[in-house]
């Protein structure tokens, strides 16, 4: 414990010792596509996020019959996030949810441990801890995931570390490692899942860019149907707004949902269009 | 007896004459220099004091003396938007006064506040090149929000043009999109303004003018008043332009000027670390290429458009950009700025 505290103090010390030449705009928003990026909200800034994912574009549930997924809704999330300090954000969101886990409230805290500098510090290091819970009524069938015998059974947690670097104003990359824990899972599934991912951003112009995001979940029991979430996005900045248009096989919009809960397969046409709109307000 | 005294008397007369001539020459013919200014009691005085003793009508913001505490609080309101002890609410959550106004002299001749003179002085002294007037000497102005400001603020400028108190209030509520300032806050700001008012030593007298000034004011001659007023601007005029890219026959744009305007002007607010605007700028090729490619557009991404028109505060998006009038940026400087962007974009 003492070593951990000492390490954190050293890291914070390093963060403060290079305050002059911070690298900005590694990513355009606080999310790459679905997952968090290293970007923080400035102190006393409120961000309003609306994110939406439609149904499958192709495959059995897609095609013209459902107008390529636009007739269906995979998930929708509305959130307010706030910069307490330049290096500390908190957020509160509400999602429709995916699969059996519906009516989700989520919250998170994000801390920027290290910040990339033009000299001296080559990376940004960010820690994100999030929690989500379903407030849907419990079912009376005790074998179901949604029976929720105890209130704590509704909880899911994800902690992850983001390692980010802007290699060039046109190219940024991020690696993330984390642990997801669900208090209550289906028979045969594991409560705790380790995952790692990689994300990237390529900017064509100052206002347009291409995004990619992939996460790999390790050690998932083979009897549980699951896929690794892979997303491609297109960002449009307008000054004050950040729009991200994306295609993803993950249905969820929160890491507690799309990390353990992705079951769609790109190769079966089970990918969908989604978008997010971020708007910042100074308080 | 008289013959014996004659050489002595002659020697004494010559000595006194030489001393008298030397004494006169030190007063009349000593060249004008800053060192002498500081020693001269008539040069170190504030302009408002000199005008007051010469019988000039006192402006309605006139203060006999600076209250140091009020001036300190006024400076805190200007620099931080609120008192440092946190005892009052921030005037605006969007802007500080210092985002648009300097607090130092912007020219070596207060009678010439042309953008060329200001740019030259700013480059020499590394002073931000901003769209609004400096607070240094604001106390000595007689009219505010002149010229085309009525096009932007309409009737709101009417009561500000001859009253500094009202001008500060309009700046708080409209220019900074903040709350109404309380009377004591405005009074503190005026005390701060007084602490950075023009001194007679700031005025750019030549030798002859200086001699006349000393002679007039020593005799309390009212001509001193006119002389003082001829050496600084009492009015900040403002004329707004259009988005048209200037065409100046034979003008060779200056890269260094353009670079300074971009860094000390544009980036003063748009640098990401400043956190003021919704549109961050930097000196990367990615950004400068974007600006260069948009130069002919009729929108806020076009340099000539945004610089001359600025933007307006709207509901949900109060941060706006004030425009540079011709009095703050000349057409030549606009071309310098666009030239710098073009060169850097194509490097």
pLDDT in tens, chain A (283 residues): 455 445 544 444 444 443 458 999 999 999 999 999 999 999 999 999 999 999 999 988 888 988 999 999 999 999 999 999 999 999 999 999 998 899 999 999 999 999 999 989 999 999 999 999 999 999 988 888 899 999 999 999 999 999 999 999 999 999 999 999 999 999 899 999 999 999 999 999 999 999 999 999 999 999 999 999 999 999 998 876 788 899 999 999 999 999 999 999 999 999 999 999 988 888 8
| DSSP character at residue B317 | B
Number of domains making up chain A: 1
Q: Which residues of B touch A167 (CB under 8 A)?
A: none
Flag whether pLDDT at B36 surpasses 60. no
Mean residue pLDDT of chain B comes to 89
- Residue B243 scores a pLDDT above 70: yes
DSSP annotation of B314 reads B
Q: Say which CATH number the domain at A135 has.
A: 2.40.160.40
Per-residue pLDDT, averaged over B33-56, amounts to: 75
Cβ contact A206–B287 (<8 Å): yes
Mutation site for A-interface testing, chosen from B317, B318, B341 by largest number of A Cβ within 10 Å: B317
Query: Residue B318 has what pLDDT?
Result: 84
Looking at the partner chain, which of A25, A239, A280 has a beta carbon nearest the beta carbon of B272? A25
The pLDDT of residue A243 is 86
CB A115 within 8 A of CB A24: no
**Chain A partners within 8 Å of B295 (Cβ):** none
Q: Name every chain B residue with its beta carbon within 8 A of the beta carbon of A239.
A: 277-279, 300
Q: CB-CB: which of B278, B280, B316 is closest to A25?
A: B280
Query: Which band of pLDDT confidence, cut at 50, 70 and 90, is reported for residue B2?
Result: low
Sorted by where each begins, the domain ranges of chain B are 1-30, 34-111+135-238, 255-345
| CA–CA separation, A101 and A119 (whole Å) | 46
Task: Report the pLDDT value the prediction gives residue A190, as an integer from 0 to 100.
Answer: 94
Phi, psi of A22 (to 5 degrees): -65, 145
Nearest residue to A94 via CA among A108, A82, A79, A81: A79
Q: What's the pLDDT score for residue A61?
A: 85
Check residue B15 and report its DSSP letter.
Answer: H
Helices (H), B128-196: 149-153, 164-170, 183-195
A239 vs B273, B278, B284: nearest CB: B278
Whether B313 shows a pLDDT value over 90: the answer reads no
Nearest to B204 by CA among B328, B121, B146: B121
What is the mean predicted confidence (pLDDT) over B131-158? 93
pLDDT at B28: 41
Check: CB of residue B198 under 8 Å from CB of residue B232. yes
Half-sphere exposure of B169 (CA within 13 A, CB side): 16
What's the rounded Cα separation, in Å, for the pair A175 and A213? 10
What pLDDT is stored for residue B7 in this prediction? 66
Decide: A95 and A67 in contact? Cβ < 8 Å: no
List residues of B whose CB lies inside 8 A of any A CB.
93-94, 272-273, 275, 277-280, 282, 284-287, 289-290, 293, 300, 316-319
Of A230, A244, A181, which Cα lies nearest the Cα of A39? A244
Instruction: Note whether A22 contacts B278, CB cutoff 8 Å.
Output: no
Question: In angstroms, how far is CA B314 from the centroid of its own chain?
Answer: 29
Q: CA-CA distance, A134 to A259, in Å (whole number)?
A: 16
Q: ipTM value of the model? A: 0.81
Higher pLDDT, A79 or B273: A79
B183-195 helix and B68-80 helix, angle to the nearest 10 degrees: 100
Question: Looking at beta carbons, which residues of chain A come within 8 Å of B285?
Answer: 169
Provide the percentage of residues in chain B whose pLDDT is more than 90. 74
User: Has residue B52 got a pLDDT over 60?
Assistant: yes
Answer yes or no: is pLDDT of B133 > 50.
yes
Say yes or no: domain B255-345 is CATH 1.10.760.
yes
Phi, psi (deg, nearest 5) at residue B180? -70, 135
- The enclosing H or E element of A47 equals strand A45-56
Supply the angle between the helices B285-293 and B331-345 in degrees, to the nearest 10: 130
């Amino acid at each position: 414990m003492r070593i951990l505290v000492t390490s954190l103090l050293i890291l914070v010390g390093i963060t403060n010792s290079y305050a002059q030449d911070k690298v900005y705009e590694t990513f355009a928003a606080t999310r790459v596509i679905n997952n968090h990026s290293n970007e923080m909200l400035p102190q006393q800034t409120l961000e309003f996020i609306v994110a939406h994912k439609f149904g499958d574009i192709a495959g059995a549930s897609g095609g013209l019959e459902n107008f390529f997924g636009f007739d269906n809704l995979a998930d929708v999330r509305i959130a307010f996030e706030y910069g307490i300090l330049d290096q500390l954000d908190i957020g509160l969101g509400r999602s429709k949810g995916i699969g059996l886990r519906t009516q989700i409230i989520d919250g998170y805290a994000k801390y920027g441990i290290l910040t990339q500098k033009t000299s001296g510090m080559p990376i940004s290091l960010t820690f994100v801890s999030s929690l989500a819970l379903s407030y849907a009524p419990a079912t009376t069938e005790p074998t179901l995931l949604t029976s929720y015998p105890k209130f704590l059974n509704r909880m899911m947690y994800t902690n992850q570390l983001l390692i980010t670097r802007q290699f060039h104003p046109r190219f940024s990359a991020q690696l993330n490692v984390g642990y997801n824990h669900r208090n209550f899972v289906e028979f045969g599934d594991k409560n705790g899942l380790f995952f790692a991912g990689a994300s990237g951003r390529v900017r064509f112009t100052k206002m347009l860019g291409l995004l990619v995001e992939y996460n790999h979940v390790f050690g998932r029991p083979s009897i549980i149907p699951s896929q690794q979430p892979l997303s491609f996005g297109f960002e449009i900045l307008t000054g004050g707004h950040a729009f991200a248009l994306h295609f993803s096989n993950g249905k969820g919009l929160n890491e507690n949902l799309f990390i353990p809960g992705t079951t769609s397969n790109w190769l079966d046409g089970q990918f969908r269009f989604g978008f997010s709109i971020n708007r910042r307000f100074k308080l | 007896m008289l013959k014996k005294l004659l050489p002595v008397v002659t020697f004494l007369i010559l000595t006194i004459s030489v001393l008298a001539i030397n004494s006169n020459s030190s007063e009349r013919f000593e060249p004008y220099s800053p060192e002498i200014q500081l020693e001269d009691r008539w040069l170190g005085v504030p302009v408002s004091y000199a005008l007051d003793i010469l019988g000039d009508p006192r402006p309605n913001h006139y203060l006999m003396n600076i209250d140091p505490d009020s001036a300190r609080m006024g400076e805190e309101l200007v620099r931080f938007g609120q008192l440092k002890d946190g005892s009052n609410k921030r005037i605006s959550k969007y802007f500080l006064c210092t985002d648009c106004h300097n607090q130092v002299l912007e020219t070596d001749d207060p009678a010439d506040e042309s953008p060329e003179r200001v740019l030259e002085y700013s480059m020499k002294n590394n002073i931000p090149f901003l769209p609004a007037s400096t607070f240094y000497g604001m106390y000595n102005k007689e009219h505010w929000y002149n010229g085309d400001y009525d096009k932007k603020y309409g009737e709101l400028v009417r009561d500000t043009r001859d009253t500094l108190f009202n001008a500060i209030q309009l700046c708080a509520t409209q220019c900074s999109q903040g709350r109404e300032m309380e009377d004591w806050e405005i009074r503190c700001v005026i005390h701060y303004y007084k602490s950075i008012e023009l001194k007679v030593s700031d005025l750019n007298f030549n030798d002859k003018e200086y001699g006349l000034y000393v002679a007039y004011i020593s005799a309390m001659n009212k001509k001193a008043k006119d002389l003082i007023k001829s050496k600084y601007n009492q009015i900040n005029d403002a004329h707004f332009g259009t988005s048209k890219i200037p065409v100046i026959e034979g003008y060779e744009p200056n890269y260094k000027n353009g670079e300074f305007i971009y860094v000390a002007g544009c980036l003063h607010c748009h640098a990401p670390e400043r956190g003021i605007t919704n549109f961050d700028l930097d000196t990367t090729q990615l950004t400068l290429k974007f600006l260069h490619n948009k130069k002919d557009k009729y929108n806020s991404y076009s340099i000539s458009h945004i610089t001359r028109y600025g933007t307006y505060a709207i509901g949900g998006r109060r941060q706006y950009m004030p425009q540079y009038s011709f009095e703050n940026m000349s057409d030549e400087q606009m071309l310098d700025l666009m030239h710098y962007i073009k060169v850097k974009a194509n490097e």
